[in-house]
Amino acid sequence: MNPSVNIAAIYGSIDEADRIEAGELGISMDSLPLQKFFSYLIEGGEQVE
């Protein structure tokens, strides 16, 4: 994993204004299937395909 990349999980909905603000701050937001999220946690932060 690239040391300059941080990952955060958000539980809940994000409105369009928040998405726009995130983009302006250089933050990209993508959906992540729950199974992959748990696999990521179990693997200790290693990239899971």
Owner of token pair 């603000």 = 21
Give the pTM.
0.50
The pLDDT value given to residue 42: 85
Q: Is 36 left (phi over 0), alpha (psi -120 to 50) or beta?
A: alpha
Tell me the pLDDT of the chain (49 aa) as tens digits: 455 667 777 778 889 999 899 899 988 888 878 888 788 788 776 665 5
**Sequence spans of domains, the chain:** 1-49
The pLDDT value given to residue 21: 92
Report residue 24 as tokens. 């302006």
* Closest C-alpha to 30, from 16, 19, 41, 15: 19
